[in-house]
Amino acid sequence: MSLDIVIAGVGGQGTVLASRIIASAAMRAGEKVFTSETIGMAQREGSVVSQVRIGEPLYGPQIPDGKAEILLGLELAEAVRALPKLKPGGMAIVNSACLIPPSVARGESVYDREALQNYLREKTGICYLFDAFDLAREAGNVKSANVVMLGAFSCLPGLPFTAEQLLAAVLAAVPPQTGAVNEKAFALGRQVMGGK
């Protein structure tokens, strides 16, 4: 079994943490894993892309273009930017909320949320879009949006680990005082996908 996952977001969203949590869950399940990150201007809300490769055969940590089975988009525009990594007919789980770039805030460019969502639907085999920020706020902290996304991801069929193993990896990776918020965020992500 092999599985290639691309996670795209901006600095401060926990993109790298999400990739490490997935890798940890896979390793706990006895799988071989490679990860890599491209962090760019992460401290300034720049683009962050993480790649997780699980199983055999693994030829390195970089996923070739057009080969990832799953795209996990923590931010809408960054999900669109990462689409070349997704294989034809691949699946995307994307936070429909936007983080408006400074150039848009200054009126120098446009962020067309509806066009981006339509493009994702058109270019993916299956696309789940929902507002992870709203669910994270409901859980108690908007910073747990990455865990909402992991909860949604845990509902996908054919993962090499269980939802319980993924949640255990989440709780091992976050500060203990945030455990209850992150458990709720994970559960809300599962609920949006129809999981329990």
- Cα separation, 68 vs 143, in Å, equals 26
* Structural domain total, the chain: 1
Digitized pLDDT (tens) for each residue of the chain, 196 residues in all: 789 999 999 888 999 999 999 999 999 999 999 999 887 654 556 789 999 999 987 678 899 999 999 999 999 999 999 999 999 999 999 999 887 776 777 777 777 889 999 999 999 999 999 999 999 999 999 999 999 999 999 999 999 999 999 999 999 999 999 999 999 999 999 999 987 6
Q: What is the CATH number of the domain that holds 61?
A: 3.40.920.10
| Prediction pTM value | 0.92
Range of the domain at 22: 2-192
- Cα separation, 73 vs 185, in Å, equals 16
